Amino acid sequence: MTEKWEPAGPGKQIARRNFWAWVLHQALYRVGWQFKMEATMIAGLVSYLSSSPAIIGIFSTASSIGRCAGPFLVTPWVDRSPLKKRCVLWLWAGVVVSWGAGAVYLWLPQAQDRAAALWWFFITYSLFFTFLGCAGVAQGALLGKIIPAGRRGSAL
């Protein structure tokens, strides 16, 4: 028979709030990801900036490398950090700033030079996915802190 974990007092409300905040975050994150990233926006933008279809493949490869290699860089920092939420906030700030820098550049007059715009967007796009992979590691570590081990299985 498995033991059921029940926090006492206000801890139960906090655990419930954390759980539903995590569920909502995951739902919104997945919906936004499919619409915004690989499916429509990036392919259209890269096709506009470059006439070569191989460039889209390079962007896809860069996103995969960033998501996989980035976590190796930050795992020791996240592991040693006493406050995992600070790691999550700093890494998500990196996600937002890198995406914002790419988006802002595309609105500048300098973006009329398609080759320069493509390079700038490639750099910020690669940073975006690197920070995204790193943020995933930090979120996983934080998730282990806010949702007790006995409760995690039912959410997955």
- H-type alpha helices, the chain: 10-36, 41-49, 54-80, 84-107, 114-146, 149-155
- Which band of pLDDT confidence, cut at 50, 70 and 90, is reported for residue 155? very low
Say if 3 falls within a structural domain.
no
* pTM of structure: 0.70
Q: CA-to-CA distance for 30 and 149, rounded, in angstroms? A: 24
**pLDDT tops 60 at residue 52:** yes
Q: CA-to-CA distance for 96 and 121, rounded, in angstroms? A: 14
Say if 141 falls within a structural domain.
yes
Average pLDDT of the chain to the nearest whole number: 80
Per-residue pLDDT tens digits for 24-51: 777 777 766 655 565 567 777 888 888 8
- pLDDT score of 23: 81
- pLDDT score of 120: 93
- pLDDT score of 10: 66
Say if 15 falls within a structural domain.
yes
Say if 83 falls within a structural domain.
yes
Q: Which amino acid type is present at position 80?
A: R
- pLDDT score of 139: 85
Q: CA-to-CA distance for 114 and 52, rounded, in angstroms? A: 13
Q: How many domains does the chain divide into?
A: 1
Which residue range(s) make up the domain with 63? Answer: 10-155
Distance separating the N- and C-terminal Cα atoms of the chain: 20
Q: Please compute the mean of the pLDDT values over residues 105-117 and round it to a whole number.
A: 92
Say if 2 falls within a structural domain.
no
Provide φ and ψ at 37, rounded to 5°.
-85, -105
**pLDDT over 70 for what percent of the chain?**
78
**Spatial contact of 126 and 62, defined as CB atoms under 8 Å apart:** yes
**pLDDT over 90 for what percent of the chain?**
18
Return all residues near 49 (Cβ < 8 A) that are at least 6 apart: 55, 114, 117, 118, 121
Say if 111 falls within a structural domain.
yes
